[in-house]
Amino acid sequence: MVEVGPFRALRPAPGLAARVVSPPYDVVDVEEARAYAGGDPDSFLRVSRPEIDLPASVEPHSDEVYALGRANLDDFLARGVLVRDEAPTYSVYRQVMGDVVQTGVVAVVGVEDYDAGRVRIHEFTRPDKENDRVRHIEALDAQDEPVFLLSHRSADVDAVVGRVIAREPVIDLVARDGVGHTLWVVADPAEIEALHEAFAAVGDLYVADGHHRSAAASRVHAARADQPGEHGSFLAVVFPIDDVHVMAYNRVVADLAGRDADGFLAALGRNFDVAPAAGAVVPSRRHELGVHLEGRWYRAVARDGVVDEGDPLARLDVSVLQDRVLAPLLGIGDPRTDARIAFVGGIRGTGEIERLVASGRAAVGFTLFPTSTVDLVAVADAGHVMPPKSTWFEPKLASGLFLHPLR
């Protein structure tokens, strides 16, 4: 049983959500964040990316930046931009991106469940990013970016959610990127109890996106173990496994490790059938790769026997690429730390890979078939860890629609 509970959320005041809502902190760089906020005093990026209010010369992980995030949050509270629920609530959160519709429940999840492995992970964290999230949470004394969690489908959860979404939402907006965000607050005590009981029977949860945020929440809780407050849980949105949209997380590599293009393609051909493609390759099946090299695209398909289909980790296409191409042919032993590799979210399309290769910032790019949520759960249940950046969930959870204060 995982504790999935209600909490007293901080939310945008009525009528202000469209001004507050922002992209997540980790999908925009500082210049993109500064342009998005455009000097708007109510943009939540002033809290999640406070460096946008400082000169470009200020180091983004300096004490000044974290302190400004807290000052900006205090400003939002003082001006009534954010207001707090009077009592603990859940929320139902729906996102619409074209034909993609996903609906989850906003809640807080027990840190002890995370520490005990009942909230399962599939990636290791990077110490620098984890440290950043710890300092950010400590400075705000709140969790402002939710963890994206998956659960097995529950008819009991669905029944409550179905009743809730039949009512008028408290927030219904379309963000600048065209993604719709709709929110219903669940304040009725009977519905709160029904959701709590339903989630208690769901079983383990799975981190889809937010490994650094959940790990940071665990560290903050440990550091505050003898202090009062709500640090024993972390902010999350829980979606059914079959209700979310996963895209590929593609890769580019800076050089060919001493090979020329012909030599690399010949080496690739030892385990893959490689053929030129007429245009950009977006893989449509497992174990198919797109390869972009010297302005041309190639389709590479793993030969029979190359992939161990009985191993839930080895059969992932991100593992096939790592084990059969990146490590042996390009010398990328640890993609978490090697500066020669970079990751390109599927939402950016093949054009971003072409741009990086054409600019000389990368020598070769790879497109992959997306990792499914079924594969993610199988790897997590087996206690394995995927290569970094194995999944790109889209649409992303918006920032600023709900926060979890720790006091």
What single-letter DSSP state applies at residue 325?
I
Give me the DSSP letters along 165-212: TTSPPSEEEE-TTS-EEEEEEE--HHHHHHHHHHHHTT--EEEEE-HH
Res 389 pLDDT > 90: no
Q: Output the pLDDT for position 346.
A: 85
Per-residue pLDDT tens digits for 166-200: 999 999 999 999 999 999 999 999 999 999 999 99
Q: What gap in Å lies between CA 402 and CA 108, rounded to an integer?
A: 11
Percent of the chain, pLDDT > 90? 90
Res 27 pLDDT > 90: no
Phi, psi of 58 (to 5 degrees): -75, 130
Residue type, 175: A
Res 387 pLDDT > 90: no
β 100-110/90-97 pair status: antiparallel
Q: Using alpha carbons, select from 266, 261, 296, 290 the residue that is nearest to residue 278.
A: 296
Q: Using alpha carbons, select from 150, 209, 257 the residue that is nearest to residue 397.
A: 209
Tokens of 35: 């342009």
Q: Which residues partner with 151 through β-bridges?
A: 240
Q: What gap in Å lies between CA 306 and CA 303, rounded to an integer?
A: 6
pTM for the whole structure: 0.90
Give the start-to-end residue ranges of the domains of the chain.
4-246+395-405, 249-369
Res 124 pLDDT > 90: no
User: How large is the angle between the packed helices 127-140 and 211-223, nearest 10 degrees?
Assistant: 60
Percent of the chain, pLDDT > 70? 100
Per-residue pLDDT tens digits for 69-112: 999 999 999 999 999 999 999 999 999 999 999 999 999 999 99
Per-residue pLDDT tens digits for 284-322: 999 999 999 999 999 999 999 999 999 999 999 999 999
Q: Output the pLDDT for position 155.
A: 98
